[in-house]
Amino acid sequence: MIKIGLTGNFGMGKSTVAELFKKLGAYVISADKIVETLLEEPEVIEEIKKLFGNEVITNGKLNKKYISSIVFENPLMRIYLENILHPRVFEKVDEIVKNIPQRGEPIIVVVEAPIIFERGYQNKFDLIITVFTSEEIALERLEKKGISKEEAFRRLKCQFPIEMKKSKSDYIINNSGTLEETAQQVEAIFQKLIAMERKYAGN
């Protein structure tokens, strides 16, 4: 088994690339989706309420927009929130990985996570892949999804520069072109990972 950390900055196409890996047969785990489920757990809600105050609850549920408005302007509050969520995210990832059926075939696990480098989580993976585009392309794509430039800039400034992430990654995927061009890069990397896993298994 090879466990990959798939990262990149906001709007640059991590989810698109994750889906392409999934189609090729990789086990894909989304950290963001795990967070969504965690934010519905009573214990987690209670911890977040202690951190942000009662105003974080609207109609019995966490007000995610309110939380976002705070954490993307206040780095310390963002770190406190991450400290509540991230240990639980990795516990869940480990649980999912542990339960992947062993079929005698190469197993490639891709964990899609946005802030691997920012929190020093790269050592939790065998290899890191960074997806990138220019900031202009990312902003353009986000705008088409209804995310304002102001909101996008707020999120991007909370992440390390993409060039730094690229320099620290084992593989990089340029998602600036067509879906077919991105798919070709994913396919090439996937085949290398399969060959690598077979080599390790053979040893």
Q: What stretches of 39-178 show up as alpha helix (H) in DSSP?
A: 42-52, 64-71, 75-98, 135-144, 149-156, 162-167
Q: Which two tokens stand for residue 81?
A: 């929130």
pLDDT at position 4: 97
149 is in an annotated binding site: no
CB-based contact 174:133 (threshold 8 Å): yes
68 is in an annotated binding site: no
Count how many domains the chain has: 1
Mean pLDDT, the chain, integer: 90
pLDDT at 201 > cutoff 70: no
Contacts 24+ apart (CB under 8 A), 51-58: 51/77, 51/80, 51/81, 51/84, 52/77
Task: Assign 160 a pLDDT band (cuts: 50, 70, 90).
Answer: confident
What dihedral do alpha carbons 13, 113, 37, 73 form, nearest 10°? Answer: -90
* DSSP codes joined into one string, 114-131: TTTTTTT-GGGSSEEEEE
167 is in an annotated binding site: no
d(CA 202, CA 65): 49
Percent of the chain with pLDDT strictly greater than 90: 58
Query: Rg of the chain's alpha carbons, rounded to an integer?
Result: 18
Which pLDDT tens digit goes with each residue over 53-83? 888 888 778 888 888 888 888 889 989 999 9
CATH number for the domain that contains residue 50: 3.40.50.300
pTM of the complete model? 0.89
134 is in an annotated binding site: no
Range of lowest pLDDT (11-20, 59-68, 130-139, 162-171): 59-68
d(CA 165, CA 10): 13
Q: Which two tokens stand for residue 95?
A: 């649980």
Mean pLDDT of 117-145: 90
d(CA 166, CA 72): 23
Which pLDDT tens digit goes with each residue over 8-42? 988 899 999 999 999 999 999 999 999 999 998 99
177 is in an annotated binding site: no
Q: Which domain holds residue 100?
A: 2-202
133 is in an annotated binding site: no
Mean pLDDT of 155-164: 83
pLDDT at 152 > cutoff 80: no
